[in-house]
Every structure is written in C-alpha cells, then in structure tokens.
Amino acid sequence: MPGLFDRLDKEIKDRQKEGGISPLDLAALPPALRRIMRVMLRELSASYPRLCDAVDSMPEKDRLSRPELDSALSDLTEQFWLIRIGEKEKAIYKVNLRRKEGSKLAAGIWSALENKLKGRS
C-alpha cells in the first residue's frame, strides 16, 4: 500500500506532465524570480520560509515584498511553472521544467534506424 511520500511523489509527477517552464523562459523572468527559481532548481524544492529567506538576502533594489512574493508564487503555480504541495507557510515549491520534445521525424524512420542498429550489434 503506497505511503504518504509515494502519494505526494505521484501527485508531483502527474502535475509535471501538465506543462512547465523552459530554460529560455527562465531568462525572461524578473531578476528576483529568476533567483528564487535558481534556489529551487539547485535544492530541487524549497519551503515557503526558505524562499522568504532567499528574497530577504537579495539586493534591496530587487527585493520583493511578501505580498509581491505571494502573488508571484501564485501566478507561477497557476502557469504550472511551479508545483506547490501544501498551503501558505507550510507550502513546498518545486520548479516544473518543460520536457524536451522528441524529434518530429516520422516514427518509421526511428524504427528503421533501430532495426539497422540492432542488426549491427
């Protein structure tokens, strides 16, 4: 029987399939959001208090107020660029990176290539 961790893991994986942010989108974000996205990418996930700490350590000109941070996190979550587990102070956030699409070449080309390669090995 799956435990709490397994269920949360499944929930995250299901949500990750629903879109996500591309590395190029990251470059287009405002500086403060880019920095908190970087924290989440490096730490794989971050709690709300951790993100508040990250914002507080930014240069004053880039720093977000708490309402601005809350609003940004909410917007990013709605776009599926972030995945949120839990609510408010207890929320955990994780970046949802968009999958790199496979080649659009006709499927027949790949199976022909695969057969050819199998024949060689």
102 lines the binding site for other proteins (CB under 8 A): yes
Give the Cβ contact number of residue 91 at 10 Å: 17
61 lines the binding site for other proteins (CB under 8 A): no
For 80: left if phi > 0, alpha if psi spans -120 to 50, otherwise beta; the answer is left
Contact region with other proteins (CB under 8 A), list: 2-10, 74-82, 84-92, 102-110: 102-110
Residue 39 CB, nearest distance to other proteins (Å)? 7
92 lines the binding site for other proteins (CB under 8 A): no
Residue 27 CB, nearest distance to other proteins (Å)? 4
Please, what sign has the CA dihedral across residues 57, 68, 33, 101? positive
Amino acid at 112: A
Nearer of residues 1 and 105 to other proteins, judged by Cβ: 105
